[in-house]
Amino acid sequence: MKAIHGRYALSSIALAGALMALGSSGSALAGPRESSGGVQAKIEYCETCHGDRGQGFYGYYAIPRLAGQQTGYLENQLRDFSSGMRHTAIMSPIARSVSPSMYGAIAAHFHAMNSAPLGGGSGGNAALGRDIFMNGIPESNVPACWACHGADAHGSRDIPRLAGQLPSYLINTLSNWYQQRGTKSEHGYSALMVPTTHNLTRAQMAAVAAYVSGLH
């Protein structure tokens, strides 16, 4: 555990250094880094879209649940959005407005929440999803999800919680893995998911989403 913290601290320093260098060279990443209102204001800013109980929200795009999410995973995502290793038009500029010193407090805040799943169907077969989650699909080289994400789908450290996540967000994530997260992440285990997501059919993704979105 200590080793992990050490690694984070080191990479935060490296990242901050890199951003400063980019800032002074006038890169697109440059801009006002200071955010108004401190960490509490930033948490409320997150909650505006992700829900005041962190439960997620169905907007035009599905806004993912953060409640109960693993702190290591949340911090990694903020870091990757900020550095451009994970990219979405919405979250990337937002993550760049969050000081790395706030990551820990924001992650801890959402990790402590335990709201009920938001629900919303995926159109998938939850029984098939449970089978894939528990046994994988050996003929397609898809490993059992629970082996990493845990039998309760709560994840651990860098491995995300899936339980209670919005089904449409799960399907979107699984079907865009390579485009959005690719193999580039320096943190966590994003690259591990590339072959797995490649081998899942749309119906199998919907089935897994139907199953894990109902877990609490």
Partner 1 sequence: MKQTGLTVASLAISLLAAGPLHAQQAEGNYLATLFHATPASVPDHNCVICGPATPLYSPPPDASYPLALLPLPGANGPPVKNCTFCHGVSAQGLAVAPRLAGQRAAYIQKELGAFRNHSRDNPYSALYMWNAVPNLHPETARALADYFSREAPQAAADGNRALVDQGRVLYQQGEPQANIVTCVVCHGPDAQGVGAIPRLAGLSYSYLKRRLEQWSQGYHQTAKPMPQVTQSLSAEQIDALASYLSFLDDRAASR
**Residues near partner 1 (CB under 8 A):** 31-37, 41-42, 44-45, 47-49, 52, 57-61, 63, 89-90, 93-94, 96-98
Nearest residue (CB) to partner 1, 45 versus 146: 45
What's the Cα-to-Cα distance from 26 to each of 29, 84, 90, rounded to whole Å? 8, 16, 22
CA distance 12 to 6: 10
CA 51 from chain centre, in angstroms, equals: 16
CB 93 → partner 1: shortest distance, Å?
Answer: 5
- Which residue in 199, 208, 201 sits closest to 125, CA to CA? 208
Nearest residue (CB) to partner 1, 92 versus 140: 92
CB 49 → partner 1: shortest distance, Å?
Answer: 6
Nearest residue (CB) to partner 1, 40 versus 135: 40
CA distance 102 to 75: 10
CA 3 from chain centre, in angstroms, equals: 22
Nearest residue (CB) to partner 1, 60 versus 139: 60
CB 144 → partner 1: shortest distance, Å?
Answer: 33
